[in-house]
Chain A
Amino acid sequence: MIALIPHSWLNAFAIPPWIWNPLSISLRAALEATVVVTVAGVALGYLLAKGRFPGRGAIETVFSLPMALPPTVVGYYLLTRLGGPGPIRDAEVHLFGHPLTFTFAGIVVAQIVESFPYCMRFSRAAIAGVDPRFEQAARAMGLSRWRIALFVTLPLARRGVIAGIAMAFGRAMGDFGATMIISGSAPMATTMPIALYNAVFYGSHEQAMVLALVQVGVALTILLGVGRLGRVRPW
Chain B
Amino acid sequence: MTSALDVAVARHIGDFDLDVAFTVDKGISVLFGPSGAGKTLTLSLIAGLLRPDVGTIAINGAIVTDCARRLYVSTQRRRVGMVFQDGLLLPHRSVLDNVALAVRQVGGRRARRDVARTWLERVGAEELAQRRPVSLSGGQRQRVALARGLAGEPALVLLDEPLSALDTKVRRELRTLIREVIISSGVPAVLVTHDAEEADELGDVVIDYDDGRVTGQHAVARPSYPEPPLENPAGTEPS
Using a CB–CB cutoff of 8 Å, the interface residues on chain A facing chain B are 133-134, 136-144, 151-152, 155-156, 158, 233-234
Cβ contact within 8 Å between A140 and B82: yes
Cβ contact within 8 Å between A134 and B76: no
Check A141/B152 contact, CB under 8 A, given A136-B49, A151-B101: yes
Interface membership of B96, Cβ < 8 A: no
Residues of B close to A142: CB separation below 8 A: 76-77, 79, 102, 104, 152
Interface membership of B47, Cβ < 8 A: yes
Query: Chain B nearest CB: distance from A126 CB in Å?
Result: 14
Query: Chain A nearest CB: distance from B81 CB in Å?
Result: 7
Cβ contact within 8 Å between A137 and B92: no
Query: Which residue of A133, A136, A140, A233 is within 8 Å of B92 (Cβ)?
Result: A233
Interface size class, chain B? 20 to 34
Proximity bits, B65-94, A CB within 8 Å = 1, else 0:
000000000111101111010001011110
Residues of A close to B158: CB separation below 8 A: 140
Interface membership of B194, Cβ < 8 A: no
Count of A-B contacts judged by CB separation below 8 Å: 55
Residues of B close to A152: CB separation below 8 A: 90
* B50 to A, closest residue via Cβ: A136
Cβ contact within 8 Å between A139 and B88: no
CA distance A154 to B31 in the complex (A): 35
Interface membership of B148, Cβ < 8 A: yes
Cβ contact within 8 Å between B49 and A141: no
Check A139/B102 contact, CB under 8 A, given A133-B84, A233-B92: no
Query: Chain A nearest CB: distance from B42 CB in Å?
Result: 15
Residues of B close to A138: CB separation below 8 A: 90, 101
Query: Chain B nearest CB: distance from A158 CB in Å?
Result: 8
Chain A interface, DSSP helix/strand/loop, else mixed = helix
Residues facing A in B78-122 (CB within 8 A) are 79-82, 84, 88, 90-93, 101-102, 104
CA distance A155 to B158 in the complex (A): 26
CA distance A72 to B92 in the complex (A): 42
* B89 to A, closest residue via Cβ: A137
Given contacts A136-B49, A139-B49, 13 further A-B contacts (CB under 8 A): A133-B88, A136-B82, A137-B84, A138-B90, A139-B74, A140-B47, A141-B81, A141-B101, A142-B77, A143-B76, A151-B90, A152-B90, A155-B92
Cβ contact within 8 Å between B148 and A141: yes
Cβ contact within 8 Å between A140 and B80: yes
Cβ contact within 8 Å between A144 and B76: yes
Could you list some 13 contacts between A and B, CB below 8 A? A139-B47, A139-B48, A139-B74, A139-B75, A141-B82, A141-B104, A142-B77, A143-B76, A151-B90, A152-B90, A155-B90, A156-B92, A234-B92
Query: Chain A nearest CB: distance from B229 CB in Å?
Result: 22
Query: Chain A nearest CB: distance from B120 CB in Å?
Result: 16
Of B79, B80, B82, B90, which is in contact with the most chain A CB atoms at under 10 Å from its CB? B90
Residues of A close to B92: CB separation below 8 A: 155-156, 158, 233-234
